[in-house]
């Protein structure tokens, strides 16, 4: 695959999810009267841009790996005394446009609006897919149980119909692999329907390394079963708006909670760190997925949007969640944290982010064979 084949889809994807994220901040900032001086897609030197009537500079920059909205008079770190000094620099009219003088609830909504805009984007994309491309509702039946496999040892049998996995109801044959591989526990809780009776099994899966449909090497959990459609045909339904939104919200929630489970498993030393990736891996997968058409590209866009929204809610200084953490302290203490304390938190946040960037970049380079 040529570099241009995956770079262009990647740039389109990142531009969309970053724009939506930053527009969430921008919308609520304008709603509460905060001045916005810059709306940037990308970092570094500006490629092109324009000024709107309110004085905001909308621009695209050289490095398309993020973006930012800059508020009028914005300062990342400030103390109570510094805030008072800041006010002296502006007249009464300009003071009303300062972000730092807004009530905590307004600042919190402005900051949180970015991540939640990403979740909303994912819901809209899934809704569109379910309405116009459809959603699969094919029941899953076990057609074969491999001898001596985890499923065989547990007692699963041919013709068992899979009802739920880890308390997630299986509505589609495609849910089976998703729910099994999203599990972070040592055992899979699987319920099946056999002769009109519901039976429950706890199965410890095997982990194997194989190539996925995009020819990428992945670690996969397997039970040793072969799945087929219950009635030997697939059931794909185009949903109405209300039903599509319901399943879109449900899918977004599942991806979010599964991601949190995975992150928690990393902290306790049980997660597979080799699956973490950065911009190179995302670009590679985006390019591969884009070749399968618009629906596949929209799907990966929704998943990346959820990831961006979720990561930004982590209570790490420099991320949106870090700012929300500071506002929580301010609400409890009745004043902002001291400048020295905030700077200390920012150094910790910077260290964590650079460590994560280094680790994911190392995984990316290893994935393309440079290590």
102 closest CA partner among 72, 57, 70: 72
Angle at 210 between CA 184 and CA 216, to 5 degrees: 95
Q: Which residues pair with residue 61 across a beta bridge?
A: 46
Q: What whole-number distance in Å separates Cα of residue 99 and Cα of residue 351?
A: 27
User: Does the CA dihedral 198-184-180-221 come out positive or negative?
Assistant: negative
Angle at 172 between CA 166 and CA 173, to 5 degrees: 90
Give the helix ranges, DSSP H, for 316-338.
320-333
Of the residues 22, 89, 251, 330, only one is catalytic, namely: 22
Whether 22 is a known active-site residue: answer: yes
Q: What whole-number distance in Å separates Cα of residue 367 and Cα of residue 280?
A: 9
Q: Decide: 3 and 26 in contact? Cβ < 8 Å.
A: no
How many C-beta atoms lie closer than 10 Å to residue 67's C-beta? 24
Contacts 24+ apart (CB under 8 A), 35-40: 35/71, 35/72, 35/73, 35/94, 35/97, 35/98, 35/99, 36/69, 36/70, 36/71, 36/72, 37/70, 37/71, 37/72, 37/74, 38/68, 38/69, 38/70, 39/67, 39/69, 40/67, 40/68, 40/69, 40/70
Give the catalytic positions in this structure: 22
């Amino acid at each position: 695959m040529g570099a241009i084949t995956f770079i262009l889809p990647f740039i389109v994807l990142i531009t969309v999810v970053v724009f939506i994220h930053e527009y969430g901040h921008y919308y609520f900032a304008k709603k509460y009267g905060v001045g916005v001086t810059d709306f940037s897609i990308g970092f570094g030197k500006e490629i092109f841009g324009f000024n709107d009537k309110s004085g905001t500079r909308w621009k695209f920059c050289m490095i398309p790996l993020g973006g930012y909205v800059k508020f009028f008079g914005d300062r990342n770190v400030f103390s109570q005394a510094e805030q008072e000094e800041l006010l002296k620099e502006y007249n009464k009219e300009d003071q009303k446009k300062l972000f730092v003088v807004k009530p905590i609830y307004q600042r919190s909504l402005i900051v949180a609006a970015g991540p939640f805009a990403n979740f909303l984007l994912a819901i809209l994309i899934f809704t569109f897919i379910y309405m116009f491309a459809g959603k699969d509702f094919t029941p899953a039946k076990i057609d074969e149980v491999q001898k001596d496999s985890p499923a065989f040892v547990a007692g699963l049998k041919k013709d068992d119909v899979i009802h739920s996995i880890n308390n997630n109801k299986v509505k589609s044959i495609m849910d089976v692999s998703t729910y099994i591989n999203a599990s972070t526990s040592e055992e899979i809780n699987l319920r099946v329907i056999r002769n009109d009776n519901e039976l429950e099994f706890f199965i410890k899966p095997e982990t194997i390394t194989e190539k996925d449909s995009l020819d990428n090497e992945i670690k996969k959990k397997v039970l040793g079963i072969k799945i087929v459609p219950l009635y030997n045909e697939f059931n794909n339904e185009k949903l109405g708006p209300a039903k599509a939104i319901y399943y879109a919200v449900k899918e977004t929630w599942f991806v979010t909670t599964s991601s949190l489970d995975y992150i928690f498993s990393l902290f306790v030393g049980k997660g597979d760190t080799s699956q973490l990736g950065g911009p190179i891996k995302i670009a590679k997968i985006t390019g591969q997925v884009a070749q399968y058409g618009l629906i596949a590209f929209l799907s990966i866009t929704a998943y990346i949007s959820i990831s961006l929204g979720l990561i930004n809610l982590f209570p790490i200084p420099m991320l949106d969640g870090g700012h929300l953490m500071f506002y929580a302290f301010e609400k409890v203490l009745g004043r902002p944290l001291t400048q020295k304390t905030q700077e200390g938190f920012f150094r910790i946040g910077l260290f964590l982010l650079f460590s994560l960037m280094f680790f994911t970049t190392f995984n990316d380079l290893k994935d393309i064979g440079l290590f």
